[in-house]
Chains A and B, each alone.
Chain A
Amino acid sequence: MTAANATVDAEVADRAGMELLARRPLLVSPIDMLFPLQPGDRPLVKAGEAVGRAQPIVEQVREPRTIVVNGVGTAEEPGAPGERWAAGPRARGNESAVEGELLFRSNGRWRVASGERAETLEAPSAGVVEDVQPGSRITIRSVANAIPGRMTLAGPTWGRLQVATGADGELRAQHVDVGAAGAIIVAGARMDAEALTRARAVGVRGVIVAALGIKEQRDFLASERRGRAAVHGLPPFGILVLDGAARRPIASPLMTLFEAIDGGLVAIIGNPPALLVDDPSIKLPAAAPDLVRVRSGPLAGAEGTWAGLAGPRRFPAGVTLEAAFVRFGGRPPVAIPIGDLERFA
């Protein structure tokens, strides 16, 4: 680094410069929860309606299929795509009543989305229905505080929050017991497929984890599909992944939030991926303004305080990157590429 650059950096370091770092919101409110509908699903709510937690909002068809029917509606009211349709039991057969959603009419015959059985989807949190589009989505606006995550698998679900391990912990199958039944557990840095399966089996309602590998994701989703196809279906369960796939500890501001909420009711939603905290009486702590976290690279997971921009620096593999100084504890500041850092807001 040249002397001129050093002078420049000294000048520039006076300014925060933190705006260059990726910003990670800790809390978002209000939030629009989207619940996807498939053709055949029956919305149970209307736009403008207030819904409470656990209130059924959709009747979802299981084992969906398309049936072809004649004689829907009348000449004056021939039916329209998206409308519900039902037929009583046949007089001579053993077939029971069928119902579904009109898809389209072709050559006088309707295609209808139907299914053998239905299960209800319940609202994971209170809110007001903003929009209902049959076959597409329901949007519910919630004024709860939402902690955004990176992705959600399965869900939605809700339960009391239980911090089961530390930020850098890894919950093993043998540590998951029925004591956590009905809870959404904070499972630390990572969780393997066996522990996830056991959590599901003992009645845990959800898991919050910093990272989940692509193999674990696929294994879990395959297991979920098998479970859903079973006769009795499955109780709600969801996994909220906070960071990504590679193992790393949960960020301390998030862990502080989880510890503050511990024991309170929360919900995991899929779109957008987030944890909802309904209870307004819980005081949610904010992160220190100069806190930065190393989200990747050799120091992934480490947290320190902002010490200014470091300018372009050369890093391993002959790569020159814009860097920033971060102070870890009482040690001298270390230059880290700004792409490896994140701040909280």
Chain B
Amino acid sequence: MHRVTVPRALLAIDAGAATTSVALLGRPGPRWRLLGSLSAPAGADVDALGWILAARLAVADARLAGDLEIAADEAHRLPRLEARSRPVATLAVLGASRRAVGLLEAVAARTPWRIRTASPETHDPREMTDLALRPEVTAVLVGAGDPPGPDERGWLDDLAGLVGAATRRRPDLRVVLAGPVASRNAWAEGAGRPYDGTHEHIVEAPPLGVRSGPDEPLREILEGLLPAAPDPRQTAVRTLLSLADALDRKLELIDIGLDGGLRAIASPGIADQGPAAVSVRTAQAALVPTEIDDAAVDAVLAWTTGSLDRHRMGDRLLDLRGQPWAEASGEGARLRLAATRAALARLAAVTTDIGAMPSPDVTIVSGGAFAIAPPRAVALAVADTIRRPGATQLAIDHARLLGPIGTIEDPDERRALVADLADDLLAPVGSLLVVAGVGGNRRSGPHAAGKLVLDGDQHGRYDLTTGEVAFVDLAPGDQALATLDFKDAVRVGHRAKRVTVQVSGGVAGLTVDLRDVPLRLPERRDRRRAALAAWGELAWPGDER
């Protein structure tokens, strides 16, 4: 009979594109606890990080380290849960018309692929062949309507011949056929043989539809083409499911990383149904796009209050892309959070389906961009970009545990670990309350909108002004009932003049956001900067530069 030895300590490793993070977990009693965590620039030696963590534990609590048999020199022998990011792969999206490419691109944008598009309306056949043959392109998505639209018919044979020829020249190329492309005679002319459905690198997908329908089937196929190694964003969704189930709360996870982002929402199981999640991983939400063009620069400039011109901002973003850990303090911290806001805005733009869902009980933010910023600045960045009316508790995956824990295949085992660690793995930032419909007449300027009372005046009474962001102190661990009375009906999930919501404390306290939903920043640059600076003053107290 086998006796399974359950480890009493382990290392959880999240090796991302920018950061390598190691957490030391131990089970001093019946429950697992987070004993420490440490992050370093990507490529840092995991064993060295483990050694330092173990050494710090030994100095801080030698008895605990002894009980758990954790020694610095033996730390590299500890069992590991490891999730490792892969380099972003490139997908060529080809269609017979610009419209068809647009439809495919909208779906592919909601996957971790980096996308390059081409159609005969924008590229000549040589350029399209060049794209399909580029070494960095590992897959091609080609689609057409069934039957083909009038704008596709003229070019569809050429497209079929072109992709068929690409499969002949690059047998390793993965191809997704979304529509009747391979059935064209030109496919056989290009590929050298008719398509019989047996080519292992070619996958068939539903054709392009006139009406927009669920994109899951095609997204699943595209994500299925990616390497099977555990990616932290992929495995984090599993942990989110377990966490939602363990806490019996609806959770949202927002992750911004160097190469992409994730937005997922998970609900606990009901009756005999298990927990369920909706998630979108996208390369569009990368902290800094790979190609820093004017649009990428402008997107960040729109969130800055400094005086950088386009070229200098481009320089800063280029350096941030190359060295994401560099200059993380001072002005660099502000730049990083401006880039994060731009990435969050891109993430929100490709996840409108998740954005339309009711506010979750807890919103978890994750990723290096949030890890080091002051808590109020994090809350403000989320409030600026994820404009969903309602109340949610904000928390941060400070030790980057969601990805590594998700590598546990057995859901019961994973749930048990998550239940043990629930108090440790999330650091409470505070609560975010976004109220819509308080704008009133913009020409009349800010005016009194109502009042906020926390727990029958135990914590205080606050007057609220239209268009403001207010931070109210509420310590971590505190719970309060927030009652908001407005002169006119507002939206906080539903329309009402009086709203009562449960809020939780955190380092940033309670953030009450009465700005427009969606947020409308002034068009004029000086006014926009003034507005951003005024809100920023609240989030970066003392303006420590």
User: A residues touching B (Cβ–Cβ < 8 Å)?
Assistant: 4, 7-8, 11-12, 15, 17, 19-23, 34, 36, 38-40, 64-66, 80-82, 103-108, 111, 113, 133-137, 150, 213-215, 244-246, 295-298, 309, 315-322, 337-340
Q: Residue of A at shortest CB range from B330?
A: A316
Closest Cβ–Cβ distance, residue A43 to chain B (whole Å):
13
Q: Residue of A at shortest CB range from B40?
A: A20
Say whether B372 contacts A150, CB under 8 Å: no
CB < 8 Å: which of B44, B58, B134, B312 contacts A20? B44
Contacts of A15 in B (CB 8 A): 51-52, 55
Closest Cβ–Cβ distance, residue A32 to chain B (whole Å):
12
Closest Cβ–Cβ distance, residue B473 to chain A (whole Å):
16
Which of A66, A133, A214, A317 has most chain B Cβ within 10 Å? A317
Say whether A315 contacts B52, CB under 8 Å: no
Say whether B319 contacts A246, CB under 8 Å: yes
CA A337 to CA B327, docked complex, whole Å:
8
Q: Given A136-B134, A137-B135, A339-B41, do A39 and B129 touch, yes or no (CB 8 Å)? A: yes
Main secondary structure of the interface of B (DSSP, over half): helix
CA A338 to CA B325, docked complex, whole Å:
8
Say whether B189 contacts A337, CB under 8 Å: no
Q: Residue of A at shortest CB range from B331?
A: A317
Chain B contact residue count (CB 8 A cutoff): 69
Report if B332 contacts A (CB, 8 A): yes
Report if B538 contacts A (CB, 8 A): no
11 sample A-B contacts, Cβ–Cβ < 8 Å, listed by A number? A15-B51, A20-B44, A20-B49, A136-B170, A214-B315, A246-B319, A315-B330, A319-B372, A320-B372, A337-B325, A340-B328
Closest Cβ–Cβ distance, residue B153 to chain A (whole Å):
13
Say whether A34 contacts B135, CB under 8 Å: yes
Say whether B126 contacts A316, CB under 8 Å: no
Say whether A135 contacts B129, CB under 8 Å: yes
Closest Cβ–Cβ distance, residue A82 to chain B (whole Å):
5
Which of B51, B129, B160, B374 has most chain A Cβ within 10 Å? B129
Contacts of B47 in A (CB 8 A): 19
Say whether B189 contacts A8, CB under 8 Å: no
Closest Cβ–Cβ distance, residue A131 to chain B (whole Å):
10
Say whether A297 contacts B326, CB under 8 Å: yes
Q: Residue of B at shortest CB range from A107?
A: B157
Contacts of A66 in B (CB 8 A): 124-126
Mask, B38-59, CB within 8 Å of A = 1, is 1111011101110110011011
Say whether B125 contacts A214, CB under 8 Å: no
CA A316 to CA B331, docked complex, whole Å:
8
Say whether B129 contacts A316, CB under 8 Å: no
Say whether B129 contacts A113, CB under 8 Å: yes
Contacts of B161 in A (CB 8 A): 104-106, 111
Closest Cβ–Cβ distance, residue B289 to chain A (whole Å):
13
CA A19 to CA B315, docked complex, whole Å:
28
Say whether A105 contacts B326, CB under 8 Å: no
Report if B60 contacts A (CB, 8 A): yes
Say whether A136 contacts B327, CB under 8 Å: no
Q: Given A20-B49, A136-B133, do A317 and B56 touch, yes or no (CB 8 Å)? A: no
Contacts of A297 in B (CB 8 A): 326-327, 329-330, 332
Contacts of A7 in B (CB 8 A): 59
Contacts of B40 in A (CB 8 A): 20-21, 322, 338
Say whether A319 contacts B328, CB under 8 Å: yes
Say whether A17 contacts B129, CB under 8 Å: no
Contacts of B541 in A (CB 8 A): 318
Closest Cβ–Cβ distance, residue B191 to chain A (whole Å):
9
Contacts of B51 in A (CB 8 A): 15
Say whether B60 contacts A318, CB under 8 Å: no
Report if B545 contacts A (CB, 8 A): yes
Which residues 138-171 in B have Cβ within 8 Å of A in the complex? 157-158, 160-162, 164-166, 168-170
Q: Residue of A at shortest CB range from B309?
A: A215
Mask, B297-313, CB within 8 Å of A = 1, is 00000000000000110
Report if B323 contacts A (CB, 8 A): yes
Contacts of B544 in A (CB 8 A): 316-318
Closest Cβ–Cβ distance, residue A132 to chain B (whole Å):
13
Say whether B315 contacts A103, CB under 8 Å: no
Q: Given A22-B323, A106-B157, A339-B41, do A8 and B126 touch, yes or no (CB 8 Å)? A: no
Contacts of B157 in A (CB 8 A): 106-107
Contacts of A214 in B (CB 8 A): 292, 311, 314-315, 318
CA A64 to CA B507, docked complex, whole Å:
60
Say whether A339 contacts B135, CB under 8 Å: no
Q: Residue of B at shortest CB range from A213?
A: B315
Q: Residue of A at shortest CB range from B337?
A: A317
Q: Residue of A at shortest CB range from B186?
A: A106
Closest Cβ–Cβ distance, residue B32 to chain A (whole Å):
23
Closest Cβ–Cβ distance, residue B501 to chain A (whole Å):
29
Q: Residue of B at shortest CB range from A20?
A: B40
Which of A8, A36, A103 has most chain B Cβ within 10 Å? A103
CA A183 to CA B310, docked complex, whole Å:
33
Contacts of B52 in A (CB 8 A): 12, 15, 17, 20, 309
CA A149 to CA B253, docked complex, whole Å:
37
**A12-B52, A320-B372 known, 7 other contacts, Cβ within 8 Å:** A12-B56, A20-B49, A38-B130, A104-B190, A136-B135, A246-B319, A339-B325
Contacts of A246 in B (CB 8 A): 315-316, 319
CB < 8 Å: which of A8, A104, A319, A340 contacts B129? A104
Report if B529 contacts A (CB, 8 A): no
CA A82 to CA B542, docked complex, whole Å:
64
Contacts of B186 in A (CB 8 A): 104-107
Contacts of B166 in A (CB 8 A): 81
CA A337 to CA B371, docked complex, whole Å:
14
Say whether A104 contacts B162, CB under 8 Å: yes
CA A36 to CA B136, docked complex, whole Å:
11
